[in-house]
Amino acid sequence: MMITIRVLQVPEVLPEANWNQLLSQVSAERRAQASRFVHQADAYRSVLGEILTRVTLSKLTGLRPAELSFTRNSYGKPSLSHHSDVQFNVSHSGDWIALISGSTDELGVDVEKIAPIDMQIAERFFSPKESQFLAAEPDDRRLETFYRLWTLKESYIKAVGMGLSIPLDSFALIRNVDGDWHSPEATSYQFLSLRLDHGHMLAACSAGEDLPAQPDFITTEEMYQVLL
């Protein structure tokens, strides 16, 4: 298997027939969750995240998307019930959903919508090295660097699968001279950081195998074809 990162842009509106088809392909828990969201965009992200996961993992397992079943560990990280060797992780924020899969090693992915933020958050959650690095960044690059660090740290925590039992300031992400990232506390892990568009940041993490240089973009139409 080779690691892939697939990203899907969330449509503003889905035709009702298509939405109903998608709802029929997800778990009962997901349908119930979707019905409780106040904002339709939140329901879209939740349901499409599961659909992207099912469509992608069906190719890796040979099972139909609807046949896949999932479980969660005590920290909430999902895994396949009968294919624990197939690792995956999903994230969504703003206009984008991302799924990383295709390895037996731990995987993590995080997407965040970029918005103005109080930089004092960095002092609370980042390691001293990261806080110093962020403070030294030019003003016009500091927000981008904040989100690079934040998503990288989230992707690592999601890969390890122990939630916030791992304090965010207990490990550091360092940018090499060539622009790549590494963590002195997790030397075997590979990291990727990139902008999906001007308003969203993506980071991915692998416990060993190399990560792809770029994600694969998938459309809702492509997913419908698999579900038909």
Reported as a single tens digit per residue, the pLDDT across 211-220 is: 999 999 999 9
Structural domain total, the chain? 1
For residue 31, count CB atoms less than 10 angstroms from its CB and return exposed for 0-12, middle for 13-18, buried for 19 or more: middle
Reported as a single tens digit per residue, the pLDDT across 166-209 is: 889 999 999 999 999 999 999 999 999 999 999 999 999 999 89
Distance CA 109, CA 193 (A): 10
62: left (phi over 0), alpha (psi -120 to 50) or beta: left
> Across the strands, what pairs with 218?
8
pLDDT surpassing 80 at residue 228: no
102 and 84 Cβ atoms separated by less than 8 Å = no
pLDDT at 171: 95
Average pLDDT along the chain: 94
> Across the strands, what pairs with 70?
80
pLDDT at 227: 84
Average pLDDT over residues 23-35: 93
Tokens of 83: 């294919």
Average pLDDT over residues 80-95: 94
Reported as a single tens digit per residue, the pLDDT across 120-149 is: 988 889 999 999 999 999 999 999 999 999
Confidence of residue 163 (pLDDT cuts 50, 70, 90): confident
Confidence of residue 165 (pLDDT cuts 50, 70, 90): confident
pLDDT at 226: 85
State pTM to two decimals.
0.95
pLDDT at 146: 97
pLDDT at 74: 86
DSSP state of 66: G
Tokens of 208: 């060993």
Q: By percentage, how much of the chain surpasses pLDDT 70?
A: 100
Q: Which residue has the tokens 């139409």?
A: 221
Confidence of residue 225 (pLDDT cuts 50, 70, 90): confident
Q: Which domain holds residue 29?
A: 4-227
Residues 6+ apart with CB under 8 A from 131: 122, 123
Three state DSSP letters for 119-183: CHHHHHHCCHHHHHHHHCCCHHHHHHHHHHHHHHHHHHHHHHCCHHHCCHHHCCCEECCCCCEEC
- CATH at residue 171: 3.90.470.20
Distance CA 48, CA 138 (A): 37
Q: Which residue has the tokens 């990560």?
A: 211
